[in-house]
Structure 1
Amino acid sequence: MAPDDPVAQDTRHVLHPWADLTVLGKQESLIISEANGVEVSDSRGKKYLDAIGGMWCVTVGYGNEELTRAIAAQALKMAYFTPFGDVSSEPAAKLAAMLAELSPGDLNRVQFTTCGSTAVESAVRIAHYYYASQGRPEKHHVLARVNSYHGSTFLAASLSGKAVDRTTFHYESDWVHHLENPVHDPDNAQVSAQERVDALTAGMEAAIARIGAGNIACYVAEPVLASGGVLVPPPGYHEAALEVCRRHDILYISDEVVTGFGRLGHFFASEAKFGIVPDMIVTAKGLTSGYQPLGAVLVSDRVANAIAEAANPEKPVFSNGFTYSGHPVACAAAIANIEIMRREDICGHVREVGPYFIRRLRELRSSPIVAAVRGDHLMACVECHVPGEVGPTARNQAMARRVDAYCEEAGLLVRPYENLCIMSPPLVVTKGGIDRIVDIMAESLARAERDLGAGAPE
């Protein structure tokens, strides 16, 4: 292999996120070179249907010329200027107004960040600042959930509750607390949805009693736990959790990095699907359809105004933000993305094809190596297992990797995680594309099942 071959260069020089260090410098990566619509092509010209959506990101599809022209035009007009203090840009101001219009309730103040991780971190810092400004700095503990994922900066990683992600890095543990994973799978549940809500609420109340409500600043929750395995809570859960937070004066932060911007059929799912208006909403990923890195925290007027009114004249500066907060080119991408989504009714399209996606995937439950199929609209997962084994055992994980490899061989990219095959296709996927995803997945499961009969996987 030539030294200037991208595969060789990647193998030698790149340290990938979530890389397997045991094969660092040995394992060749799949180099994606081109993308159009719902398909991507590798450096050798092979095409794949991208059932990952880049990484929960792609809303309007790859290669959208209107969106890319908006990026180029802004880069030529003004690529960058500092966002600090009293300096802004036209795209940042316009996008903030658009987000305020799209968001529920009084979430009218926007702090721009660089990605979902920095947005989550900023939201928690805002909660800390809010209570400190009210003379209650002791109110700084944070509630999150087991199997959640909120990012990979220090605090965001500490909030994340996926055990597999806890390696030899350091994590905050003194004031970050994880509540029970709220999943309720009707296919496998032993209790009703309401009984599950009651149990989860009781567990939350017990944790608050143990920690002390006077010590807790905020609760951070994904409406549907995405990377943790597309874990859907029972109906009424978020409303019950918000009621508990309100009663104990705890801010509710809805992490819509994945569920926002159409993935569940709405620009924001918190109110439209789950009936809540949180104190803050975190967004990223689909905000720009993945075309530019950008995140944002939408803050309620109540919280933002209280911070401003309590500002210390000797130290009035809100010292949180980033060099690339409200980057003009990224904001231009988000503006174009929103305009395209509105004009083409992408959210309506998701509401139409999303239920079809879940119905088709549920056909796969007939496979003996499928333990569960979970999902909501265009986010879903197939949980694989060796019959008789439960959870992410070594053999179950090997089974999922085998299914993933067969999918890739057949021209379908899904995301393997533990013993799960996670899917989040671009929001413009058609019913024909969905049929192709499910058909390839079905054949890949059948091949893996035949392997099992022959003694695999190990």
Structure 2
Amino acid sequence: MAAARDLRAMEMADGDDAVELAKRHLIQPWPYAGSVGNEARALIGEGDGIYITDVTGKRLIDGPAGMWCINVGHRREELARVMYDQAMMLSYNTPWYTMNAPSAELAKRLADHAPGDLSHTFFTTGGSSAVETALRFMQFYNNVRGRPEKKLILSRGGAYHGSTYLSASLNGRPRDRDWMDGADDLVVKLSSPDPFRRPKGIDIAAFCDFLVDQFRDTVARVGAEKIGAFVGEPVQASGGVVVPPDGYLKRIREICRDNDILYISDEVVTGFGRLGHVFASGDGFGIDPDMITFAKGVTSGYFPLGGVIISERLLQEMRRSNHPDAMFGHGLTYTSHPIGCAVALKNLDILEDSVLAHTRDVAPYFQSQLKTLEELPLVGEVRGMGLMGCVECVADRESKDPLQLDKDVGKRIDAHCHELGLLVRPLINMCVMSPPLIITREQIDDMVAILREGISRTMDDLRKEGVWQG
């Protein structure tokens, strides 16, 4: 503990230096051209449970759980100890011609939780590389089966699947692709399954029919013989916690199965407890994908790790092919990293012991308390599932205008909440909340109270500036 206190004191003293060093040498993720390489962001000094503390000593509820990932909370000694113990035993081994025991055990544990016949895991370094791996596997699978033309990928508006070239090509959020290139010739985009943004005059059941018909018509128009995969999040996370209509995913799964299109369920966010289960595809939505990608919560953010779980059926089909010598020429230096896999095993122990059950217990309260924010006139909708929630702000509830006059309303709310003791994930006109899964009802009350005040102060600001008259 003395060493930890010394480290905290040093961080507090060096805060100004870190800011200057960042401005001189650090390129932040998702920067604007006008500030790239000359930017410092909020400097965080420590974390404990559901809280983080910035270098000024201000304690904040970690509303986004890092980046959807600190599922079992900050400062879990058992996870830190596993990292140390594994590093002292074996810090690394090359996956090209050796292996380690933690990766094999973790692959088996994941197979036990996965739906259907998903039984084999390829480990990566994070979510982007997991999605990239799944897509490259789809390409390899169709090449081996003599179908080199079956490579197109179906994705959706509002989607976020990563930052590598191919995974980022699937993204469908506003501004993600404004200035970035992508493999557009390989991707076919579909509508977002966002009930809040459905066309006027139709109910949610009709909206679901529209989405399914669009999917089916797209397959018919493009040709199933050209489409290799559909990639979809069970709940669109960075797109604004978009929960699809009931039955939508099952119906899309059936169309994929009927047309020999691989269904890739992107559970980088929804996996490992965020919706109360290790995997939400089967337990939450009743589907059995051909592949599931994961990352983030698999280690609760303590170590970079991701992966893709693949159906036994696909592997058997390749084993029976006429190209037994074909090589899946894909791998990463840190594939199956022994420290990451050891941390993931202990993280699974913690989840299975009590955290999954706790999440299922408090999630309804979390959703109901967030829903009270719809009383505020700036709020168009509050939606969510499990311990994922989104507050979407609009200038006008009738038109659902997403505040085009002020695209930074989410950042405004976050700034007020930061001052009040809460870190929020701002997304243009939305505020996303995904706290550590260990959050209590009392802490949920604190979080919602701060968010309410932050939104109220933002309304006052917008009125004073003449930007909004609500």
Query: TM-score, normalization: structure 2?
Result: 0.93
SS at match of 1:22: coil
CA apart distance, 1:2 = 8.1
Looking at structure 2, the residues matched to 456 and 399 of structure 1 have their Cα atoms a distance apart, in angstroms, of: 14
Match of 2:68 among 50, 56, 65: 56
Alignment-derived partner of residue 134 in structure 2 = 123
In structure 2, what residue type is equivalent to 1:39?
Y
Please state if 1:263 is matched with 2:235.
Answer: no
SS at match of 1:174: helix
Looking at structure 2, the residues matched to 187 and 251 of structure 1 have their Cα atoms a distance apart, in angstroms, of: 27
Alignment-derived partner of residue 414 in structure 1 = 424
Match of 2:405 among 381, 387, 395: 395
Q: Percent identity?
A: 44
Alignment-derived partner of residue 440 in structure 2 = 430
CA apart distance, 1:392 = 4.1
- Bigger drift between 395-404 and 211-220 goes to 395-404
Alignment-derived partner of residue 239 in structure 2 = 228
Match of 1:241 among 236, 240, 252: 252
Task: Label 1:363 to 1:52 Cα distance change in 2 as closer, same or farther (>3 A).
Answer: same
Please state if 1:141 is matched with 2:152.
Answer: yes
SS at match of 2:372: helix
In structure 2, what residue type is equivalent to 1:378?
L
Looking at structure 1, the residues matched to 466 and 86 of structure 2 have their Cα atoms a distance apart, in angstroms, of: 54
Looking at structure 2, the residues matched to 141 and 3 of structure 1 have their Cα atoms a distance apart, in angstroms, of: 48
Please say if residues 22 and 38 of structure 2, whose CA atoms lie closer than 8 Å, have aligned partners that are also in contact: no
Please state if 1:385 is matched with 2:385.
Answer: no
Match of 1:31 among 26, 43, 47: 43
SS at match of 1:282: strand
Looking at structure 2, the residues matched to 298 and 253 of structure 1 have their Cα atoms a distance apart, in angstroms, of: 10
**Cα shift readout 1:321-373 (whole Å, capped 9, x = no counterpart):** 11100100000110010011111x21111111111111111111111111111
Please say if residues 116 and 151 of structure 1, whose CA atoms lie closer than 8 Å, have aligned partners that are also in contact: yes
Unaligned runs of 5+ in 2: 1-12
Looking at structure 1, the residues matched to 381 and 406 of structure 2 have their Cα atoms a distance apart, in angstroms, of: 13
CA apart distance, 1:386 = 2.8
CA apart distance, 1:320 = 1.2
Looking at structure 1, the residues matched to 151 and 408 of structure 2 have their Cα atoms a distance apart, in angstroms, of: 41
Looking at structure 1, the residues matched to 315 and 14 of structure 2 have their Cα atoms a distance apart, in angstroms, of: 56
Looking at structure 1, the residues matched to 137 and 198 of structure 2 have their Cα atoms a distance apart, in angstroms, of: 39
Please say if residues 11 and 29 of structure 1, whose CA atoms lie closer than 8 Å, have aligned partners that are also in contact: no
Please state if 1:347 is matched with 2:356.
Answer: yes
In structure 1, what residue type is equivalent to 2:360?
R
In structure 1, what residue type is equivalent to 2:392?
E
Please state if 1:440 is matched with 2:450.
Answer: yes
SS at match of 2:383: strand
- Bigger drift between 87-96 and 384-393 goes to 384-393
In structure 2, what residue type is equivalent to 1:7?
V
Alignment-derived partner of residue 114 in structure 2 = 103
Looking at structure 1, the residues matched to 242 and 125 of structure 2 have their Cα atoms a distance apart, in angstroms, of: 26
Q: How does 1:154-233 map to 2 (within 5 A)?
A: 154-185=165-196, 190-233=201-244
Looking at structure 2, the residues matched to 239 and 393 of structure 1 have their Cα atoms a distance apart, in angstroms, of: 34
Task: Label 1:82 to 1:456 Cα distance change in 2 as closer, same or farther (>3 A).
Answer: farther
CA apart distance, 1:181 = 0.3
Looking at structure 1, the residues matched to 278 and 200 of structure 2 have their Cα atoms a distance apart, in angstroms, of: 30
Match of 1:331 among 320, 330, 341: 341
Looking at structure 2, the residues matched to 189 and 434 of structure 1 have their Cα atoms a distance apart, in angstroms, of: 34
Please say if residues 395 and 401 of structure 2, whose CA atoms lie closer than 8 Å, have aligned partners that are also in contact: no
In structure 2, what residue type is equivalent to 1:193?
I
CA apart distance, 1:21 = 3.0
SS at match of 1:21: coil
**Cα shift readout 1:36-70 (whole Å, capped 9, x = no counterpart):** 10001112221111001000001111000111101
In structure 2, what residue type is equivalent to 1:23?
S
CA apart distance, 1:457 = 4.9
Looking at structure 1, the residues matched to 14 and 146 of structure 2 have their Cα atoms a distance apart, in angstroms, of: 63
Looking at structure 2, the residues matched to 100 and 391 of structure 1 have their Cα atoms a distance apart, in angstroms, of: 44
**Cα shift readout 1:208-243 (whole Å, capped 9, x = no counterpart):** 112100001110000000001111100000000001
SS at match of 1:223: coil
User: What RMSD in Å do the two structures reach over aligned CA positions?
Assistant: 2.0
SS at match of 2:235: coil
Looking at structure 2, the residues matched to 206 and 242 of structure 1 have their Cα atoms a distance apart, in angstroms, of: 15
Please say if residues 35 and 41 of structure 1, whose CA atoms lie closer than 8 Å, have aligned partners that are also in contact: yes
Task: Label 1:333 to 1:376 Cα distance change in 2 as closer, same or farther (>3 A).
Answer: same
Please say if residues 391 and 419 of structure 1, whose CA atoms lie closer than 8 Å, have aligned partners that are also in contact: no
CA apart distance, 1:395 = 2.6
Please say if residues 234 and 280 of structure 2, whose CA atoms lie closer than 8 Å, have aligned partners that are also in contact: yes
Alignment-derived partner of residue 15 in structure 1 = 27
In structure 1, what residue type is equivalent to 2:249?
H
In structure 2, what residue type is equivalent to 1:309?
R
Alignment-derived partner of residue 455 in structure 1 = 465
Q: How many residues align?
A: 455
Unaligned runs of 5+ in 1: none
Task: Label 1:337 to 1:349 Cα distance change in 2 as closer, same or farther (>3 A).
Answer: same
Task: Label 1:69 to 1:456 Cα distance change in 2 as closer, same or farther (>3 A).
Answer: farther
CA apart distance, 1:35 = 0.5
In structure 1, what residue type is equivalent to 2:418?
E
Please say if residues 385 and 396 of structure 1, whose CA atoms lie closer than 8 Å, have aligned partners that are also in contact: no
